[in-house]
Amino acid sequence: MPSVKVNSVNVKSVNVKSVKVKRIAVCMTILGTVACARGQSADSTTPAPAAGSVAPPAAAESSDRKYLLERIDDAAVVQVYADGFRELPLKEKVLIWHLYQAAMAGRDIYYDQKHAHNLEMRDVLEAIVTSRAPDVDAPTMAEIWRYTKLFWINSGPYNNLTARKFVLKCTRDAFAATARAAETAGAKFPTRNGETLDALLARLAPMFFDPDVDPTVTSKSPPPGKDILTASANNLYSGVRMDDLKSYRERYPLNSRLVKQDGKLVEEPYRIGGRYPRQLSAIINHLDRAIPYATEPMAKALRALVRFYQTGETKDREAYDIAWVQDKMSPVDTINGFVEVYLDARGIKGAWEALVFYVNREKTSGIRKLAENAQWFEDQMPWDPKYRKEGVSGITANAIDIVIETGDSGPVTPIGINLPNDQAIRERYGSKSVSLSNVNEAYDKSTPPAFRSEFSWTPEEAARAAKWNAFAGELTTNMHEVIGHASGKVEERLHGNPQAVLKEHFSALEEARADLVALYFLPHPKLAELGLLSRTDQDDIARAEYEGYVRNAILQLRRVRTGAQIEEDHMRNRQMIVRWLMANTKAIDVRMRDGKTYYVMTDPVAFREGVGRLLAEVQRIKAEGDYPAARHLFETYGIHFNPNLRDEVIARVEKLHLPSYTGFVMPRLEAVTDASGEIKDVAISYPQDLTKQMLEYSAATRDLRQ
């Protein structure tokens, strides 16, 4: 890896006695972790109840309900619950049932998009772990189980947050011996015509065992000699370099695989008659079955989605986006399609995902108040007035409970969503924002207590976090989605497509913009006027959130176990903001105590003033498509870090056995039918078992790959 220069910061060594801090809630802010609609588990481990109340969240009632199910390395596995489902009308339950099946039908699309060998690798692993082969080596089998569970959580052999590959720690011979024993016991492996099991294992061995073969699934800062496409191991391109695209115009930019054949670029569109025809046909079948149970606005959107899957044409995708965003009142909804572009280093190709959810009406009032006042916030933005929207309308906001998330959205899930991503549609028709209430709850209930104290400088800071960070976290998440992503406009010459010119830096820049909007408005009296918080407590709430955001920038380094640069866009965004504030304001100190590093927010007024200046520049960069400025911002502040600091952070969290990220086990639905096959009810249950759910999902879609 080439050497990098890490920005210098002023570190203050404080000669004080160690401060004993109670194990109280020091949650790291979730603001930067919102995936919009992709995402990652929050660095905050206490995401909060809905921010519609002016009081701090009350202590949770004691319950025997199980949330934290297991730990695999630095990943936690958590059950998510959908408590309101049983009370839904039958029509809505049946609608959700068909959408649930559509979500499962497309799961393998994302697996294939992530790596060309992903599905074969999963088949090998599942053949081994489901076999009942006698006399296998117990340590080898334990290692295969560890790796398989991480593979399921991350939808492949790449860490969902760092983009880096993880490998099996047993020997190749031991793995092969276990596979042979499984075959003898009747396990079926995905061998090609005429291929033996040993040949299959030899072909896939570099992916299972060699960390230097296809080491990074998405590389936006490639090593020397490679570009962002050739350094990325995903299956969105094959044989294509960035230079090949200089004069090439894609017909299906969002929904195609681009390959180079005989020296020519060829698009493989994701549509019926193109790539993934069996999976898309199955999705369409379930969507067609859902339509009779949908409201008319939702049915219109589903019909448009079916049309898009049939043709793959951009105009049909736009028609679907418009119909979807215009459906403002349906109590049930779904996101199903090629949505987020984080997997693509260019920021163009959409990864497939699906979510099915219903509105949590009890928690919706707060987020809707933001949507109803979006124009007021737009008018107060600290950027050049020419980039402010006029006549803001069409913003819909809800708190929701998810029933299933697959593909790019699960098992590692976002906590907030704002769509569509098409800038031109957003400016003309508006957007939808949702806060995933039951996911937030599951994070909260599964939080290890020790997580909340290790990185806080003083007991007072820890106490503020315990009282306010959960509440502030969800409020800022809602602002991030509703008035952050939904704000601003770009110059007409960009044709509503700033990502085309900002390239690999667009996603991180956009996440930074939304974070900055939320941070900027959190202390504003308007929030108290809207009843979103108490004016008496607002200063403490803002300080707690600012402190948490700053701590987050150091804590997130635990996720990047190797190397000295950040690849994931949300992590780049958070580091960029904090390190820019360190360099350009006096709001943050870096302090040492007992050999430990702390990021300490010292001046909330200076912090907000700096946020306003940075936000104005970030909006200008997006609006003008200023690629050199975006690159400078992230190369200077957002990508590189000191690996010694990372090693210190890892040692601190491992000593406390704290997770770095979370994968979720989803609710399970089952249709209850009468003798004629008519659905009389849809039952919901909670597997509390990652293995059981992942094997069930694979079995449900295996025939679609024949």
Would you say 417 and 405 are in contact if contact means Cβ atoms under 8 Å apart?
A: no
pLDDT above 50: residue 12: no
What DSSP assignment string belongs to 165-213? B----S-HHHHHHHHHHHHHTT----PPTT--HHHHHHHHHHHHH-TTS
Indicate whether this model's pTM tops 0.85.
no
| Mean pLDDT on 73-77 | 93
Question: Tell me, what's the pLDDT at 4?
Answer: 34
Backbone angles phi, psi at 316, to 5 degrees: -80, -30
Q: Which long-range contacts (CB under 8 A, 24 or more apart) does 677-680 make?
A: 679/90, 679/94, 679/97, 680/90
Question: Tell me, what's the pLDDT at 619?
Answer: 97
| Mean pLDDT on 129-144 | 94
Question: Tell me, what's the pLDDT at 365?
Answer: 81
Question: Tell me, what's the pLDDT at 3?
Answer: 36
Tokens of 298: 């939702």
Question: Tell me, what's the pLDDT at 427?
Answer: 84
Of 455, 359, 517, give the one whose Cα is nearest residue 655.
455
DSSP helix/strand/coil, 444: helix
Question: Tell me, what's the pLDDT at 394?
Answer: 60
Omega cis (within 30) before 643: no
Omega cis (within 30) before 37: yes
Question: Tell me, what's the pLDDT at 448?
Answer: 66
pLDDT above 80: residue 307: yes
Q: Which tens digits make up the pLDDT trace of 671-701?
A: 999 999 999 999 999 999 999 999 999 999 9
pLDDT above 60: residue 706: yes
> What contacts 438, CB < 8 A, 6 or more positions away?
80, 81, 82, 83, 360, 401, 402
Q: Which tens digits make up the pLDDT trace of 384-411?
A: 999 998 887 767 888 899 999 999 999 9
Of 404, 332, 561, give the one whose Cα is nearest residue 82.
404
Of 278, 109, 117, 113, give the one whose Cα is nearest residue 190.
117
pLDDT above 80: residue 434: yes
Which sign does the torsion angle of CA 49, 53, 54, 60 carry? Answer: negative
Question: Tell me, what's the pLDDT at 416?
Answer: 85
What whole-number distance in Å separates Cα of residue 645 and Cα of residue 636?
17
Residue 283: CA atoms inside 13 Å, Cβ hemisphere, count? 33
> What contacts 313, CB < 8 A, 6 or more positions away?
252
pLDDT above 60: residue 80: yes
Of 397, 422, 343, 302, give the one whose Cα is nearest residue 155.
343
Look up residue 410 and give its amino acid. G
Tokens of 521: 């408005």
What whole-number distance in Å separates Cα of residue 283 and Cα of residue 305?
10
Alpha helices in 18-117 (DSSP H): 90-105, 107-114
Would you say 41 and 33 are in contact if contact means Cβ atoms under 8 Å apart?
A: yes
123-133 as b/e: b if 16+ CB within 10 A: bbbbbbbbbeb
pLDDT category of residue 281 using cuts at 50, 70 and 90: very high
Q: Which tens digits make up the pLDDT trace of 507-546?
A: 899 999 999 999 999 999 999 999 999 999 999 999 999 9
Lowest mean pLDDT among 174-188, 350-364, 382-396: 382-396
234-248 as b/e: b if 16+ CB within 10 A: bbbbeebebebbeee
> What contacts 239, CB < 8 A, 6 or more positions away?
259, 260, 261
Tokens of 294: 């949908």
Question: Tell me, what's the pLDDT at 452?
Answer: 63
pLDDT above 70: residue 61: no
| CA distances (Å), origin 635, targets 221, 543, 580, 620, 628 | 9, 28, 11, 18, 10
Omega cis (within 30) before 420: yes
pLDDT category of residue 624 using cuts at 50, 70 and 90: very high
Of 641, 657, 655, 656, give the one whose Cα is nearest residue 562.
641
Place of tokens 């104005």: 616
Greatest mean pLDDT among 229-243, 359-373, 641-655: 229-243
| CA distances (Å), origin 547, targets 245, 455, 551, 556, 607 | 43, 10, 6, 14, 10
DSSP helix/strand/coil, 539: helix
Q: Which tens digits make up the pLDDT trace of 554-607?
A: 989 988 888 888 988 889 999 999 999 999 999 999 999 999 999 999 999 999
Angle of helix 535-555 relative to helix 470-479, nearest 10 degrees? Answer: 90
Lowest mean pLDDT among 41-50, 372-381, 405-414: 41-50
